[in-house]
Chains A and B, each alone.
Chain A
Amino acid sequence: MNIFRLTGDLAHLIAIIILLHKIWKSRSCAGISGKSQVLFALVYTTRYLDLVTSYVSIYNTFMKFVFLATSYATIYLIYVKFKATYDHNHDTFRIEFLILPSLALALLINHYFNFLEVLWTFSIYLESVAILPQLFMVSKTGEAESITSHYLFALGSYRALYILNWIYRYATEGHYDLIAIVAGVVQTVLYCDFFYLYITKVLKGKKLQLPA
């Protein structure tokens, strides 16, 4: 554990809390892509199957449990409790175009060819693109509420901080995982356009509005 990974994990946790809090307080999931949330639930489910087979630390077990539980809670809020507020007309990204290539790539490029390992690899590939339905939704409506922007910023920061963690781990332990690194870089690059808008607009008190 180092400061980059810890702050990365905290950014991830904060993102989830921001999202759940926003939906709960406003009693609405307007502007939130249910499809991205379904993909995240799929990511955590396939990655944290090792929760029952291997133990790393109390911290790891606790965080995995929290990410799993909150991802299903988010889906419940969007598709059941506040279903009437779900903006499905703007949430039209075809997620099979992300799931199937991620699965194919995981079958082809992995560290070991076994069930848990392929699912872990699939989760890494899928996570790198899981935000696309949400970004697509923002681009389709041309705007995002500030709170949604804060959520996206925290969520994007998490993998960017993990990249610093990987650099640090390589320098100090010689540890590196090429699959996680390449996917993590792809994931962070997808947020770059959003980061730019966030810093130049949202932080200056303006609404995140895309040029027409």
Chain B
Amino acid sequence: SKHLERHDEL
């Protein structure tokens, strides 16, 4: 989920 929090860009 930390991954999701940070990588919300393309």
Contacts and interface: CB of A to CB of B under 8 A. Distances in A.
Contact of B8 (A56, A116, A120): A56
Contacts of B1: 54
A111 B8 CA distance: 15
Chain B interface main SS type: loop
A50 B8 CA distance: 10
Interface string A169-190: 0000000010010000000000
Contacts, number: 30
Interface residues of B, number: 9
A112 B9 CA distance: 18
A87 interface: no
B4 A60 contact: no
Chain B CB within 10 Å — which of A60, A64, A67, A165 has the most? Answer: A60
Contacts of A56: 4, 8
Contact of B9 (A5, A67, A117): A5
A180 B9 contact: yes
Interface string B1-10: 1111011111
A58 B10 CA distance: 13
A3 interface: no
A54 B3 contact: yes
A165 B7 CA distance: 14
A180 B7 CA distance: 10
What 10 pairs between A and B have smallest CB-CB spacing? A54-B4, A56-B8, A63-B10, A116-B3, A9-B10, A177-B6, A120-B7, A117-B3, A50-B3, A54-B3
Interface of A: 5, 9, 12, 50, 53-56, 60, 63-64, 67, 111-112, 116-117, 120, 162, 165, 177, 180
24 contacts: A5-B9, A9-B10, A12-B10, A50-B3, A50-B4, A50-B7, A53-B3, A54-B1, A54-B3, A54-B4, A56-B4, A56-B8, A60-B8, A63-B10, A64-B10, A67-B10, A112-B2, A112-B3, A116-B3, A117-B3, A120-B7, A162-B9, A165-B9, A177-B6
